[in-house]
Structure 1
Amino acid sequence: MLGDIRSEHDTWQAMNASGRYSDATPLSAAALGATTEWLLDHAWRRFLTVVDHAPTLLDRCQPTNSPWPDDAAALSRLAAAVIYSEALVDEIVHGGAVPEQERRARAWPAIETWLTDDEAFLRQARVSAPHRCPVRPVTAARPAQRSH
């Protein structure tokens, strides 16, 4: 999901910087606003998957026992962004409606934190994944030869 969010964000940034759609058509201010809202809404929906799965993975990460102990600060920022996002989800679900514009404004900093520090997370998640025993090749038993 983070890769998808990053790709969409990069496309949005390129469009924003160029002032044009990918087909070179000029981008109006209204279109840019609508595109920005679409990006933020789409990123939020995808980010909810991260919010659901990241806590378990973050709990497994032990940067001090890894080749990258300096990742601890990034993991701390990521965990705080997840906690903040979980609170936002809880507010949306249990506290009533949060206006879309407010939700976008509140959600984006957490998503941006993940886009900034995702490499440290992925590195730590990989190194902390449970290791499986190597799979041994299965050899077929030869049928017994019959003597005639």
Structure 2
Amino acid sequence: MNASGRYSDATPLSAAALGAATELFLDHAWRRFLTVVDHAPPLLDRCRPASSPWPDDAAVLSRLADAVTDADGLVDEIVHGGSVPELERRARAWSAIETWLTDGQKFLRQARISAPHRRPTLAVTAPARPLTAARPARLGP
């Protein structure tokens, strides 16, 4: 590894390269997390942990709601408010992503149980009859 200057996964050994890899990971994770920021708020509003089998998830949902709100504020500051210092942007972005990675599964189970239930399908009581062959359409006079 020392001779090649790379770890076994081809990542460069230098600290600068690891910093670049970390930044690339955070950038990719942030772009993926923006989907959560866009879609989670209405789902969080629908969740009712007290009436679910997991009432203790209320604290988790509160942390996640705060993280999504902060991330949405960060996006708004970046887009409309101008420059956010790089270290602050990274810290806020990673904090929100870390909350999602930690608590996302509990949120998803609450969202699933809170989703409107589909109507049950009706059972077919009569056997299907084969279709009869249609007469060809008449063309012309």
- TM-score, scaled to structure 2: 0.79
Q: Which residue among 48, 56, 76 is the counterpart of 2:34?
A: 48
Query: Where do residues 1-148 of structure 1 align in structure 2 (5 Å cutoff)?
Result: 20-23=7-10, 27-136=13-122, 140-142=128-130
- TM-score, scaled to structure 1: 0.75
Q: Name the CA distance, whole Å, in 2 between partners of 1:91 and 1:80.
A: 16
1:30 Cα deviation (Å)? Answer: 1.3
Q: Name the CA distance, whole Å, in 2 between partners of 1:30 and 1:136.
A: 62
1:141 Cα deviation (Å)? Answer: 3.7
Are the aligned partners of 1:81 and 1:110 in contact in 2 as well (CA < 8 Å)? yes
Are the aligned partners of 2:70 and 2:92 in contact in 1 as well (CA < 8 Å)? no
What is the number of equivalent residue pairs in this alignment?
125
Q: Name the CA distance, whole Å, in 2 between partners of 1:102 and 1:108.
A: 10
Can you give the 5+ residue segments of structure 2 that lack an aligned partner in the other structure?
Answer: 1-5, 133-141
Q: Name the CA distance, whole Å, in 2 between partners of 1:143 and 1:50.
A: 48
Question: Which one has the bigger helix percentage?
Answer: 1
Can you give the 5+ residue segments of structure 1 that lack an aligned partner in the other structure?
Answer: 1-18
Work out which of the two has the higher radius of gyration on C-alpha atoms and give 1 or 2. Answer: 2
